[in-house]
């Protein structure tokens, strides 16, 4: 059973999707701990309700990004995870930390990468007049939201949408594709090699695995 550690900063709906799949025996691994950089993250309640260990590491307790990441690495490694999953973890990670977990750290990003790296992606898609938007699961690399894409899901954007309605539509897709990508990793089907995502020993295209 692979050991999965999840990093959060907020609501934790993606964490909940992972917990639900794990409880149903469909994740291929167990969530061994949840670490948040925000003490008020509701995702911590979700983890506790599932009997999963939780820790809080407030960014404000550290003088700089390097010292925070050094402490975070120590906390993470204490759980000896096979996979580290960012699920709404809202901190940019230092190159040293990313290198330590490269190939075994995933992120869910609320856009069709490489479009809209960074924050505020739903409003940016609306402001651009996009009629399609979505989410991407990718390996985490030093380049912010620039890691190789594993899986994407698309949603329509309607004229009367706002950032909240688009976010709700994207969340539904996130909760489907993230557990799938994590399952692929836990089953030994997914890897990062030469800066590319590979599934079943085949390199994935830039947009990730095409839906079935």
Ligand X SMILES: Nc1nc2c(c(=O)[nH]1)N[C@@H](CN(C=O)c1ccc(C(=O)N[C@@H](CCC(=O)O)C(=O)O)cc1)CN2
CA-based nearest residue to 17, from 210, 191, 184, 181: 181
109 flagged as catalytic: yes
Region from 28-36, 125-133, 137-145, 168-176 binding ligand X, contact rule CB under 6 A: 137-145
Residue selected from 147, 148, 179, 208 as contacting ligand X according to rule CB under 6 A: 147
Residue selected from 78, 118, 195, 206 as contacting ligand X according to rule CB under 6 A: 118
Q: Given the residues 109, 133, 138, 171, select the one marked as catalytic.
A: 109
Could you tell me the strand order of the sheet in which 53-56 lies? 53-56, 29-36, 2-8, 83-86, 105-109, 132-139, 149-156
Alpha helices in the chain (DSSP H): 13-23, 42-49, 65-77, 95-101, 121-127, 163-186
CA angle centred on 171, ends 209 and 21, rounded to 5°: 70
Q: Is 169 annotated as a binding residue?
A: no
Q: Is 201 annotated as a binding residue?
A: no
Q: Is 91 annotated as a binding residue?
A: yes
**Distances from the Cα of 82 to the Cα of 103, 150, 151, angstroms:** 10, 18, 20
Region from 24-32, 50-58, 136-144, 153-161 binding ligand X, contact rule CB under 6 A: 136-144
CB of 113 to ligand X, least distance (A): 9
Annotated binding residues for (6R)-10-formyltetrahydrofolate, as ranges?
65, 90-93, 107
Site of interaction with ligand X (CB under 6 A) = 86, 89-93, 98, 107, 109, 118-119, 140, 142, 144-145, 147
């Amino acid at each position: 059973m692979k050991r999965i550690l999840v990093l959060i900063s907020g609501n934790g709906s993606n964490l909940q999707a992972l917990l639900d799949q794990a409880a149903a025996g469909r994740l291929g691994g167990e969530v061994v701990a949840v670490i948040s950089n925000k003490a008020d993250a509701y995702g911590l309640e979700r983890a506790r309700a599932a009997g999963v260990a939780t820790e809080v590491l407030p960014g404000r307790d550290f003088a700089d990004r390097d010292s925070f990441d050094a402490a975070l690495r120590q906390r993470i490694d204490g759980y000896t995870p096979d996979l580290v999953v960012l699920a709404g973890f809202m901190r940019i990670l230092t190159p040293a930390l990313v290198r330590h977990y490269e190939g075994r750290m995933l992120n869910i990003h609320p856009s069709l990468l490489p479009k809209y790296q960074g924050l505020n992606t739903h409003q940016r898609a609306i402001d651009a007049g996009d009629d399609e938007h979505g989410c991407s699961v990718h390996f985490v690399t030093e380049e912010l939201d620039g890691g190789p894409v594993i899986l994407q899901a698309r949603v329509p954007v309607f004229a009367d949408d706002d950032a909240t309605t688009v976010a709700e539509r994207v969340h539904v897709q996130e909760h489907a594709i993230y557990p799938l990508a994590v399952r692929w990793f836990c089953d030994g089907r997914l890897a990062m090699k030469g800066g590319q995502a590979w599934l079943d020993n085949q390199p994935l295209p830039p947009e990730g695995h095409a839906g079935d």
